[in-house]
Structure formats: C-alpha cells, structure tokens
C-alpha cells in the first residue's frame, strides 16, 4: 500500500534517514572480520614456523598436507578480505580508493551479485583444498566422512552454478530492457 500523497515529508525523510543510516550498524561486524584476519595471519605464521622447525623429520605427505593447510588458511583469509572490503563497499559506504594503485581490480565493479558469485567460488576453492587433504589422507579417514565431504563439495558446486546462472538470466533480462 502506497502512503497518501499528502503525507508529511519530514516524517518520510526522517524515517528514510534512519533506515539509510542503519547500515552503519554493520561497521563493528566488518571491524571484527579484520580482527579475524589477524587471527588467521597468526595461525599461518605459527603453522609455517612449526613446519620449518620439523622439516627434517616430516615425510613428503606430511609436508604436502601442511602446505595444503597453509593454502587453506590463505584462501580463508582471502574470503575474509573479500567479505570485508566488498561488503563494506556494497552495503555501508564507498572506500574511495580510486587513486590508490593497490586497489583490487574487482573492487571497482563489485555489487551484491558479483560478491555472492566471488564468495561462492572462494568457498568452492576452500572446499577443494579440504577434499584434496582428505584424498591424500584417505586411508586414515572413514569412508562415510569422505562421502559426506564429496557430497558437500558437490552441493557447493551446484549452488555456485545456480547462482551464476541466475545472475546471467538477470543480466540478460536487464540488457533487454535497456
């Protein structure tokens, strides 16, 4: 139902301002994600140090699993960065980094749909690393666990494909209107 045309514009303006400014409630969430990135940086350095200190006693498989664990930490940190920067830019306020030579290329054209697709691809990459670790260590993991991990990974793949397809459909409908 539309508001009456003689509605008080001050009330509408005040309500609109309150709703619009409520986006700043997300700021502590994004600051928290920055702290979590620090936690992952610490975990990465701790795992790298442990690997280097034990390198001579590690088997090739142990080194490979440790490296995959490090890559997993990097992928999760990248995911956190995408969510922090992209989410803030999309839902809170512009970062205004136009003249910064270090601005990520993707940030200049991020929107909610692009962010969802990028996040789903990052989740698939993280899931792939976990699955590879599982396959390398398959003899020590119950078969049911392996099957569940493969099923979950396939679910991520199907979800990402559905998201990308939906985005494509939306863009083709939007392009036809213009």
Segments making up each domain of the chain, as ranges: 24-177
Cα 134 to chain centroid distance, Å, stands at 22
- Residue-wise pLDDT for 118-140, tens only, equals 788 889 999 999 899 999 889 99
Residue 91 scores a pLDDT above 90: no
Rounded distance between C-alpha atoms, residue 122 and residue 80, angstroms: 10
Closest CA to 127 of 157, 147, 163: 157
Where do we find the tokens 């139902």?
1
Closest CA to 62 of 136, 132, 138: 136
Closest CA to 36 of 4, 73, 71: 73
Q: Which two tokens stand for residue 86?
A: 């992209």
Residues 6+ apart with CB under 8 A from 175: none
Rounded distance between C-alpha atoms, residue 154 and residue 171, angstroms: 26
The predicted pLDDT at position 113 comes to: 73
Confidence of residue 155 (pLDDT cuts 50, 70, 90): very high
Confidence of residue 17 (pLDDT cuts 50, 70, 90): confident
Using an 8 Å Cβ cutoff, are 97 and 78 in contact? Answer: no
Rounded distance between C-alpha atoms, residue 35 and residue 8, angstroms: 44
Q: Which two tokens stand for residue 40?
A: 């992952």
């Amino acid at each position: 139902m539309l508001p009456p045309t003689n509605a008080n514009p001050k009330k509408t303006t005040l309500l609109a301002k309150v709703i619009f400014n409520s986006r700043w409630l997300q700021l502590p969430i994004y600051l928290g994600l920055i702290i979590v990135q620090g936690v992952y940086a610490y975990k990465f350095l701790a795992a790298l140090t442990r690997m280097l200190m034990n390198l001579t006693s590690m088997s090739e498989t142990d080194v490979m699993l440790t490296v995959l664990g490090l890559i997993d930490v990097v992928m999760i940190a990248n995911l956190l960065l995408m969510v922090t920067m992209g989410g803030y830019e999309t839902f809170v306020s512009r970062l205004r980094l136009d003249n910064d030579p270090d601005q990520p290329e993707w940030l200049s054209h991020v929107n909610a749909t692009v962010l969802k697709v990028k996040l789903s691809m990052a989740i698939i990459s993280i899931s792939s690393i976990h699955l590879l670790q599982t396959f390398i260590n398959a003899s020590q993991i119950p078969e049911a666990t392996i099957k569940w991990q493969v099923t979950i990974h396939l679910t991520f793949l199907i979800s990402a494909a559905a998201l990308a397809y939906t985005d494509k459909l939306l863009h083709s409908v939007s392009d036809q209107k213009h």
